[in-house]
Amino acid sequence: MSHSILNGVAAATTHRDRDDLDRALAELLAQFIEPRSLALLRLVDEEGQAPRLEERVRVDGRGGQAAGLADMAHDFTAWQRHAQRGEVVRCGAADRPMTVFPLAGAHNVIGLLVLETARPLSERRIELIRGILRIVRNHLAILDYGEQDTLTGLLNRKRFEGQFDKLRHRMATPAEAAGTAQEASWLALIDIDRFKSINDGYGHLFGDEVLLLISRLMRRAFRGADQLFRFGGEEFIVILENASENGALLALERLRSAIATYPFPQVGTVTVSIGYTRITSQDIPTLCLARADAALYYVKSHGRNGVRNCEQLLAAGHLAGDLKCGTVDLF
């Protein structure tokens, strides 16, 4: 068994995509543990809300029940103390024992692995699973190092295109296409107003501090599932999934207002201009960015410190149909 487990771990850690890695890990554990049910849950920590767990992968084996397993773990507050200590928790009924493992990221807990088995797991098997999870954690740390911006910790430009393609693929599936008409996915391009004057007037050290503080304000302004990127220099990108047009505008306005009212050390007031557009399943990154950039350029040329939607500007006749790009350096 040890030989097949090693091969399975080696195969799982060839994946660079987090969703593919989650599925490969679940399939590996299901193969040699043969659980009644297995659920891999990721922690979603949104500003102003209690941390919650979201099911990413589910495997139901023989005798597994579709309901009940992950439901017991969705409230993260019940597991938080154990998870932060790295403790494995045994629970469940005598005839349906459960074992809950914390999933560690580079700096904190990122989720739980929940196994329901026919018999309680032996200490040897628990330690084996913990060893596999440590290997996966190290693999994720290497991926994060290559795909995160070193200053802000946001996702970088390299990661953007892959995430955009995954989103388009999800939108093209029948299940996604049958979703709520009022909800859509949106791409917003954010640019710090007069950032060059900040660097020139206060120095690059204070310029870097502005970038870092804005990245923190971005994390507070958006949901845990929204994707945040530093695109280069003073430009950021946000991808919002499953949001109404009004919901996207409210979130972006919340960010704009938070930045405009934040007392940046030494620099004082900083503002941003934001252009955004709806993402379609036929989009490619350059076209979607061009539309968001056209809206951003409109904001820049009309006083800055604002949020505008490309489609609304087109409908009002404020943008040319060819959407010539303004500020963003496309691929």
Active site residues: 234
Beta bridge partners of 268: 264
**Helix-, strand-, coil-residue percentages of the chain, each rounded to 5:** 45, 25, 30
Element housing 18 (H / E): helix 18-33
CB 18 within 8 A of CB 139: no
Rg (CA), the chain: 23
CB 190 within 8 A of CB 251: no
Collapse the DSSP code of 293 into the 3-class scheme (helix H, G, I; strand E, B; otherwise coil) and give the result.
helix
Q: Which letter, b or e, does each residue of 231-244 get, where b requires 16 or more Cβ atoms within 10 Å of its Cβ?
A: beebbbbbbbbebe
Q: Where are the strands (E) in 183-318, listed by range?
A: 183-192, 227-232, 235-244, 272-279, 307-309
> Where do we find the tokens 């740390």?
141
Torsion angle of C-alpha atoms 307, 311, 317, 323, degrees rounded to 10: 90
CB 223 within 8 A of CB 238: no
Q: What's the distance, CA 147 to chain centroid?
A: 12
DSSP state of 155: B
CB 231 within 8 A of CB 157: yes
Collapse the DSSP code of 69 into the 3-class scheme (helix H, G, I; strand E, B; otherwise coil) and give the result.
coil
29: burial class by Cβ within 10 Å (0-12, 13-18, 19+)? buried
Distance between CA atoms of residues 217 and 211, nearest Å:
10
Q: Tokens at residue 41, please? A: 């849950």
Helices marked H in 192-231 — which ranges? 195-202, 204-221
